Structure 1
Amino acid sequence: MNYSNKDLALYHFGACPYCRKVRDKLAELKLHIELRDIKKHSHFRQELLSKGGKATVPCLRIKQDKGYRWLYESNDIIKFISTQVKK
């Protein structure tokens, strides 16, 4: 299945090196997805914790037919966006 940019949101914060790795890959692939900074906006942190299960970043929220999938780990996110997202 291929996902569009509108199906995705990246939970992150600026100083996180793993988040930067994912943001750099997004830039390289010219993908523009919603970025949700959990340090600047506490409601994003709370949403990540309550719905994703933990307040660990980076985390990619993926909209699916029956809700959302929460993908953690920078390398897993990079693999997903490199292979599953429409360019």
Structure 2
Amino acid sequence: MSNLTLYELPGCPFCTKVKNKLAELDVEYDSVEVPRAHPERTEVKEISGQTGVPVLVDEANGVTGMPESSDIVEYLEETYGSAA
């Protein structure tokens, strides 16, 4: 089990952006596929306060529910990239 968990939806371009960055950085993560219907995304809402994806959880660094793909990519680069 990884410290990182990515809540995602297949086919979501924003999720793909984050997954590509994770692959580029060779960072292991657990994937949680969320339901298509926003009202059914209760777990994501509890974690991040909203129902959009992607949402990243990084237990090792105290990140409990980061939304927004651009913010996630920047965080991954800063935390797990070569400059880290």
- What is the TM-score with the length of structure 1 in the denominator? 0.74
Where has structure 1 moved over 4 Å in runs of 4 or more?
none
Cα distance between partner residues in 2 of 1:64 and 1:29: 17
| Counterpart-to-counterpart distance in 1, 2:14 and 2:54 | 7
Q: How does 1:1-87 map to 2 (within 5 A)?
A: 6-39=2-35, 45-63=41-59, 69-85=64-80
**Separation in 2, partners of 1:86, 1:9:** 17
5+ long unaligned stretches in structure 2 = none
Q: How many pairs were matched up?
A: 79
In the superposition, the TM-score normalised over structure 2's length comes to: 0.76
Percent identity between matched residues is 30
Show structure 1 runs of 5+ residues with no match.
Answer: none
State the Cα RMSD in Å: 2.7
- Relative contact order, CA 8 A, sep 6+: which one is greater? 1
